[in-house]
């Protein structure tokens, strides 16, 4: 049985533990121009990298069209892959996008992204999860603060902190449309959460998170150590963040929807075990148990070829 370095969903008092894993798992020379020494130091200390306008507008356009196709596809809307807003019934997320979309499958293997991620995680990576987040305008609900790793560890059996989340903005992330907020440096601490995981928790937690969230005192402590930062930028910007970074977002009453393509890269040496604090495993589209190392490809070139072909 794998040792549990990060116990959570505990009865009684919840502590803040020190991180027990490195932040950057790769060593040696960096074969990727984005990862300057300064960028690497930033990622190590603050737990995220914001790459403004990483994708060009023609690339973003291809992603946006694919998003529109998926959100309108009745087969997707009716499937278990789609999560809807509690009140309005609008599509809020689509999971396992790499299984229903050639565009997002190719994007998840983009050599420019994989070069960065493979260095940060030290070798081969696979997709733990992929999804599209569509934060609708007018009535977009908040996502309360959480560490992704806490959920993946307790509910999916991810043993160590050796994964990276990647959020690609498909619409402009503005200060007022419920952008992601992060607490730099929080990835170095693990907030134990209280309360046993309810059975089939994921069916509720994807709509509104009640378990697996920090206490007010823990959150206040993390912010007191650091600050809150809101990475903003035009569509095509990329936020790479360490799997244990505390993040969340406020609601969005503005007419500007906020959509992101989201990929979770996990090291092939960090594959899932039995969940550490849950009876049942979550479904395949939330937690991939068939790791297949991602082979890099030329996303930009492929897209250009596709567009040229269909023109």
Contact set with its own copies (CB under 8 A): 137-138, 142, 144-145, 175-176, 178, 181, 216, 219-220, 223, 228, 230, 248-256
CB of 173 to its own copies, least distance (A): 12
CB of 224 to its own copies, least distance (A): 9
CB of 230 to its own copies, least distance (A): 6
Which helix (H) or strand (E) is 225 found in, with range? helix 216-225
CB of 54 to its own copies, least distance (A): 23
- The residue among 227 and 292 lying less far from its own copies, judged by its C-beta, is 227
- The residue among 169 and 219 lying less far from its own copies, judged by its C-beta, is 219
Cα separation, 135 vs 137, in Å, equals: 7
- The residue among 24 and 181 lying less far from its own copies, judged by its C-beta, is 181
- The residue among 39 and 229 lying less far from its own copies, judged by its C-beta, is 229
- Least Cα distance to 197 among 212, 213, 218 occurs for 212
- The residue among 79 and 84 lying less far from its own copies, judged by its C-beta, is 84
Question: 297 — phi, psi (to 5°)?
Answer: -145, 170
CB of 82 to its own copies, least distance (A): 22
Helix (H, G, I), strand (E, B) or coil at 231: coil
Please report how the helices 57-72 and 299-310 are oriented relative to each other, as an axis angle in degrees rounded to 10. Answer: 70
Instruction: Quote the distance between the C-alpha of residue 31 and its chain's center.
Output: 24
- The residue among 157 and 178 lying less far from its own copies, judged by its C-beta, is 178
CB of 222 to its own copies, least distance (A): 9
If phi > 0 it is left, if psi is from -120 to 50 it is alpha, else beta; for residue 197 that is: beta
- The residue among 157 and 233 lying less far from its own copies, judged by its C-beta, is 233
Q: Cβ(281)–Cβ(187) under 8 Å?
A: no
CB of 44 to its own copies, least distance (A): 24
Q: Cβ(7)–Cβ(15) under 8 Å?
A: no
- The residue among 209 and 268 lying less far from its own copies, judged by its C-beta, is 209
Cα separation, 77 vs 191, in Å, equals: 35
Q: What is the DSSP string of 10-38?
A: BSS---EEEP-S-S----S----TT--HH
Cα separation, 222 vs 217, in Å, equals: 9
Cα separation, 152 vs 137, in Å, equals: 29
CB of 258 to its own copies, least distance (A): 11
């Amino acid at each position: 049985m794998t040792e549990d370095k990060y116990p959570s969903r505990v009865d009684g008092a919840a502590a803040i533990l020190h991180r027990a894993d490195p932040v950057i798992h790769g060593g040696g020379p960096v074969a990727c121009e984005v990862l300057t020494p300064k960028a690497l130091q930033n990622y190590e200390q603050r737990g995220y990298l914001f790459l403004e306008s990483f994708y060009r507008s023609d690339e973003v356009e291809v992603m946006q069209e694919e998003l529109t196709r998926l959100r309108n596809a009745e087969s997707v809307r009716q499937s278990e892959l789609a999560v809807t807003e509690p009140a309005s019934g609008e599509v809020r997320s689509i999971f396992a996008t790499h299984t229903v979309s050639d565009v997002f499958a190719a994007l998840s293997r983009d050599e420019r992204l994989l070069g960065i991620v493979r260095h940060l995680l030290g070798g081969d990576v696979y997709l733990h999860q992929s999804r599209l987040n569509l934060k609708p305008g007018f009535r977009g609900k908040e996502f309360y603060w959480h560490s992704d790793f806490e959920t993946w560890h307790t509910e999916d059996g991810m043993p160590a902190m050796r994964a990276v989340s990647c959020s690609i903005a498909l619409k402009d992330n503005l200060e007022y449309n419920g952008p992601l907020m992060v607490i730099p440096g929080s990835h170095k601490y693990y907030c134990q959460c209280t309360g046993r995981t309810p059975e089939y928790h994921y069916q509720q937690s994807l709509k509104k998170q009640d378990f697996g969230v920090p206490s007010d005192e823990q959150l206040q402590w993390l912010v007191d150590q650091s600050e809150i930062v809101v990475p903003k930028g035009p569509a095509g910007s990329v936020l790479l963040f360490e799997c244990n970074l505390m993040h969340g977002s406020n609601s969005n009453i503005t007419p500007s929807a906020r959509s992101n393509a989201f990929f979770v890269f996990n090291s092939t040496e960090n594959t899932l075990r039995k969940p550490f604090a849950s009876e049942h495993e979550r479904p395949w589209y939330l937690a991939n148990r068939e790791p297949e190392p991602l082979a890099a490809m030329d996303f930009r070139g492929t897209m250009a070829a596709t567009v040229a072909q269909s023109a």
